[in-house]
Amino acid sequence: MITSFHVFVPALMGSGASFRTGIKVREMGCKKVLVVYDKGLKAAGIADPIVENLHSAGIETVCFDGVLPDPPDTVVEDAVMMAKEAGIDGIVAVGGGSAIDSAKAINVLINNPPPIMKYFGVQKNLKPGVPMVFIPTTSGTGSEVTNMCVISCTSLNKKDSVVSPVCVGKLAILDPELTLGLPPKMTAATGVDALAHAVESMTGNQANPLSDALARDAIRTIKEWLPVAYRDGSNIEAREKMLLASMFAGMAFTNGLVHLGHSIGHTIGAQFHIPHGIACALVLPEVIEYTAKTEWKKVLMICECLGAKVSPYATPEEIGEAARTALRALMKSIDIPNMKDLGIPADALAKIAPLITADTGFALVPYRITTAKVADMLQHAYDA
Amino acid sequence: MWSKLIVDMNTLSVSREPLDEDFRELGGKGLIAQYMIKNVPPQCDPLGEQNQLIFCLGIFAGTSFTTAHRLSVGGKSPLTGGIKESNVGGYAGTLLAEQGIKMIILRGLPEKEGPSLLHIDSSGKAELLDAAEYKGMGNYDLREKLAGRFGEKVATITIGSAGEMGYRSASIHVSEFGAGHPSRAAARGGLGAVMGSKGLKAIVVEKPTERFKVEYADEGKFRETCTLVNKVIAQGAQNDPFHNIGTISTIEVTGANGILPVDNFSGKLFPAYQEVGANKFLTNLATRGGKNKLACQPGCVVQCSNCYNDANGEYLTSGFEYETIALFGPNCHISDLDSIARMDRFCDDIGVDTIEAANAIAVAMEAGKLPWGDVDTTLALLSEMKEATEFGRILGDGCEAVGKHLGCKRIPVVKHQAMAGYEPRNTKGTGITYATSPMGADHTAGLTMGRAFDDAGRAAQAYASNKLQVAMCIADSMMCIFAFAHVVPVMPKLGEMMDAMYGGNYGFPRLAAMGVKTLLTERGYNKMAGMTDADDRLPEFFYKERSVATGSVFDINDYELEVLFDF
């Protein structure tokens, strides 16, 4: 099969790398940037040093600290007004996926009229925005290296994504020290998001050798270091490894795309207001088991990365089962809750299944699966 | 209340009866599927006594909905051996609706030498008349004679000599609104041969003195919604290359990206594709008194049809479409638009499917029977169909028959039906449609080009094919697919129209369910006719040979095809 490889965003990585933000932004020719983050980040003492760093490089800043989880379109549209009034010529986003995706959506609207929902889907002809620098403070979304953002449409009560070159950053700065303070629950929840990116990108129909290589490395790293980072958040090696795995998985799914696990995650996340990473992890083991029917070679690689023993004579079904077991064991080791733990009523599953098969991302499933079978998967994962 | 005409060719009698209650909410493709599964034995001989030929109107026939008067023709296909629904524009659908006739069912076989013609006069009386004088006549002469006898304003449904001779590629021709040329074809699957086997040469429909009025559950609501949807379609059509140029505009896309078939689906690019492209076409129209933006049926706002004249400004053909141009053109290594127009005219006249005939010529070229790009020999071989020489008869049976006869190893057919003008390695979703459609290799069943991430990639192709195959079952039950393409922004409105017309409050799911049911019924029919999973595959060479335009092979795995219609 012929595939094309895309690595969109150059990265600067290492402890203390965020101190180069000012220099890098100045090199890009920016004079006044919008700094996007949330109030929690300011309280944690992460935002201010970066703002000061920008100032010390002679860059003026306009701060937007109104980022919310599952970034709502209304918030993004407000921020754009602010950015336009201030006449900014660059954007620096500091934070998790919500901050980075908000920044991307703001950039889309800098030179394209609102609302953002007009641009959901793959957009090839948007007017370019301004240079963006992304500084992730969680290890999960990989958004710093992707060409898309996920935004919540408040009027339709659903999430959708804008895929466009306007969402591509000019630089990602990966500084593991910024992730040291992430609480264990958040470490686990964001870490499994990266895991989902890696295993789904490998088993989709758009996977390529580069995305497979990145995904395999991400899976191995997550298997080894996520439990460490979860138990000991101050372990800088674990933090650095996880930040790298998250970026690799982000690069992998930019190429290979994600499929059913994310359709399930988006749907359950929206219905029950569950954090993205957790929502994507709930049925992930069953999803990978299902892909083994046609993508068994890839699932075998996943098993190897997870250290799961598989007989050389194993059938695709057995390979799928081994992957499911190994993925679930990894999740259990970092206390990822199941649907029952989260208080999702068992009788809701049948109602959720049709929403999953109606999700935009469902187009990317490796082979067709009925709503009834999706419901079976949910059932299986419910209290697993 | 709608009527159906039952034309019994055994007894040469016609009866007019109320439409069955079971079929009240159905039309077009959906109606044909349900009629066939209930009334036509799947294992029957397509040209024998038990097969039936059905003409029927769409769900919104009789209303002011744009393109509502497309005519569906159905039966068991002598080409594929499975169920066939082939639909066509032209004027006949409109006049049948005005007559209050939703369905014409042709059954039995005549005992005496035919042919007959079915005449529906302005009072609504339908009778079979002797048509011996028209025997062997081409569609163009026949249309002229019928217009001379019954008036210029009649709509005609005719077959040429190909249908009479039982060629498995024989088409059924409907006269265009306005000019009356018999250039609109229900072309695919050899239904012209079924009409020929029944000894029916023509159906002539007069405009009734009293126009039939359809019943609405809520006429006001229907009119309101229908007006809105018509407006949306008309607005969309303004920027549609099919309106502004014609379907030939597709070449500008497919020629550049390797989707245009070249030299019998070799997978190559054709450097001279623009010689048979939009600019050449528009220039020829402008300098020779030709026309585009013509409506083949009254009330159409897409108006994709055209009238193409030769270098002397004389009428050559109309309804000159992408498929014919792609397949007689680059796929036969021919780049002269006028020659292709002559081939189109010839096929329309004797009444064969241009897709089937052009593919048959391409495999003959590959087998060395004639050189690539040889226009004169192509026209001479096509003439052999009319003369009914031995090879002409084989050619009339289509691409697979010719390929097998000449020992060609690369025969681009699925379910014995030749592929349309899209290379399946470079639009894989369309390849999935070719493979799995109950109709055989049929682009109108779900052309995914431009609808998945990468036409030559695997991601989302099966999804796009599945969704489009259901959507096309809905469209083919109610309207022209070109108008349907512009309904997308207001799709639920079609459900509202359905409710306003037939009652209930089900919305779009009612139509979605009908689409799925139609597909599954058609597949069930084919299964009973003896088809298996092996019939849902492309020919092996698409899996093994690379398209040199893109390096792509058809690498969709069998399991994806097998579960495509799991709903």
Distance CA B274, CA B18 (A): 52
Q: What is the rounded average pLDDT of the residues A351-372?
A: 94
Q: What is the rounded average pLDDT of the residues B449-478?
A: 93
Burial grade of A125 (CB within 10 A; 0-12, 13-18, 19 or more): exposed
Q: Is A204 on the interface with B (CB under 8 A)?
A: yes
Q: How many CA atoms are closer than 13 Å to the CA of B538, on its beta-carbon side?
A: 27
Residue A157 has pLDDT above 80, yes or no: no
- Each residue's pLDDT tens digit, B201-233: 999 999 999 999 999 999 999 999 999 999 999
The whole-angstrom distance between A6's CA and the closest CA on chain B is: 14
Which are the contacts of B491, defined by CB distance < 8 A and separation ≥ 6? Answer: B508
pLDDT at site A2: 80
H/E element holding B143? Answer: helix B139-150
The whole-angstrom distance between B551's CA and the closest CA on chain A is: 7
Contact criterion met (CB below 8 Å) for A226 and A314: no
Prediction pTM value: 0.91
Distance CA A209, CA A1 (A): 10
pLDDT at site A4: 82
Average pLDDT, chain B: 97
Which are the contacts of B376, defined by CB distance < 8 A and separation ≥ 6? Answer: none
How many A/B residue pairs have CB atoms within 8 Å?
52
DSSP state of B116: E
Distance CA A253, CA A364 (A): 12
Q: Are A206 and B555 a contacting pair at CB < 8 A?
A: no
For residue A175, what are the CA distances in angstroms to A39, A48, A192, A367, B518?
20, 15, 20, 39, 57
Residue A265 main-chain phi, psi, to 5 deg: -60, -45
Tokens of A2: 């012929």
- One-character DSSP codes across B475-505: HTTTS-HHHHTTTGGGTHHHHHHHHHHH-SS
Residues 217-276 of A with CB under 8 A from B: 257
Chain B CB contacts of A2 under 8 Å are 456, 550-552
Tokens of B352: 């064969």
What CATH architecture applies to the domain A11-179?
Answer: 3-Layer(aba) Sandwich (3.40)
- Each residue's pLDDT tens digit, B510-545: 999 999 999 999 999 999 999 999 999 999 999 999
Distance CA B519, CA B541 (A): 27
Residue B181 main-chain phi, psi, to 5 deg: -60, 140
- One-character DSSP codes across A44-103: TTSHHHHHHHHHHTT-EEEEE-B--SS-BHHHHHHHHHHHHHHT-SEEEEEESHHHHHHH
Confidence of residue B453 (pLDDT cuts 50, 70, 90): confident
Distance CA A236, CA B409 (A): 64
pLDDT at site B113: 81
Residue A7 has pLDDT above 90, yes or no: no
Number of H helices, E strands in chain A: 14, 9
User: Which segments of chain A are extended strands (E)?
Assistant: 11-13, 32-36, 60-64, 90-95, 121-122, 132-136, 148-153, 158-163, 171-174
pLDDT at site B112: 83
The partner residues of B101 in beta bridges, in order of sequence, read: B3
pLDDT at site B95: 98
Contact criterion met (CB below 8 Å) for B61 and B97: yes
Considering only CB atoms, B559 lies closest to which of A205, A365, A367, namely A367
Considering only CB atoms, B559 lies closest to which of A2, A293, A362, namely A293
Chain B CB contacts of A369 under 8 Å are 563, 566
Q: What is the rounded average pLDDT of the residues A361-372?
A: 95
Burial grade of B343 (CB within 10 A; 0-12, 13-18, 19 or more): buried
Nearest chain B alpha carbon to A370:
B567
Contact criterion met (CB below 8 Å) for B187 and B168: no
Tokens of A109: 């609207």
Mutate to test the interface with A, among B451, B557, B561, B562 (most CBs of A within 10 A): B557
Q: Are B563 and A368 a contacting pair at CB < 8 A?
A: yes
Distance CA B189, CA B76 (A): 9
Residue B190 main-chain phi, psi, to 5 deg: 75, 25
Contact criterion met (CB below 8 Å) for A219 and A203: no
Q: What is the rounded average pLDDT of the residues B299-306?
A: 97
Delimit the domains of chain A by residue range.
11-179, 184-382
This model of the complex carries an ipTM of: 0.81
Chain A CB contacts of B557 under 8 Å are 294, 367
- Each residue's pLDDT tens digit, A216-268: 999 999 999 999 999 999 999 999 999 999 999 999 999 999 999 999 998 99
Q: What percent of chain B has pLDDT over 70?
A: 100
Residue A93 has pLDDT above 80, yes or no: yes
Nearest chain A alpha carbon to B555:
A1
The partner residues of B184 in beta bridges, in order of sequence, read: B174
Tokens of A203: 């088993």
Chain A CB contacts of B566 under 8 Å are 368-370
Burial grade of A4 (CB within 10 A; 0-12, 13-18, 19 or more): exposed
Confidence of residue B59 (pLDDT cuts 50, 70, 90): very high
For residue A196, what are the CA distances in angstroms to A203, A246, B167, B235?
11, 10, 56, 43
Helix axes B28-39, B508-528, angle to 10 degrees: 40
Considering only CB atoms, B566 lies closest to which of A3, A293, A368, namely A368
- Each residue's pLDDT tens digit, A55-65: 999 999 999 99
Contact criterion met (CB below 8 Å) for A174 and A144: yes
Which are the contacts of B271, defined by CB distance < 8 A and separation ≥ 6? Answer: none
Check the CA dihedral B465-B467-B470-B473 and report its sign: negative
Q: What percent of chain A has pLDDT over 90?
A: 92
Nearest Cα neighbor of B467 from A261, A266, A363, A371 is A363
pLDDT at site A158: 78
- Each residue's pLDDT tens digit, B536-557: 999 999 999 999 999 999 999 9
Chain B CB contacts of A363 under 8 Å are 452, 460, 463-464
Confidence of residue B419 (pLDDT cuts 50, 70, 90): very high
Contact criterion met (CB below 8 Å) for B278 and B248: yes
β-pairing verdict for A121-122 and A158-163: parallel
Check the CA dihedral B158-B161-B164-B167 and report its sign: negative
Q: Is A3 on the interface with B (CB under 8 A)?
A: yes
Lowest mean pLDDT among A113-127, A181-195, B163-177, B364-378: A113-127
Q: Are B460 and A122 a contacting pair at CB < 8 A?
A: no
Angle at A293 between CA A292 and CA A294, to 5 degrees: 90
Tokens of B342: 């002559």
Q: How many CB atoms lie within 10 A of CB B495?
A: 18
Distance CA A61, CA B191 (A): 73
Check the CA dihedral B39-B42-B47-B49 and report its sign: negative
Domains belonging to chain B, first-starting first, are 3-205 (3.60.9.10), 241-414 (1.10.569.10), 424-485+506-567 (1.10.599.10)
pLDDT at site A306: 98
Helix (H, G, I), strand (E, B) or coil at B438: coil
Was domain A184-382 assigned CATH 1.10.3720.10?
Answer: no
H/E element holding B13? Answer: strand B13-18
Residue B494 main-chain phi, psi, to 5 deg: -65, -35
- Each residue's pLDDT tens digit, A24-57: 999 999 999 999 999 999 999 999 999 999 999 9
Q: What is the rounded average pLDDT of the residues B107-112?
A: 93
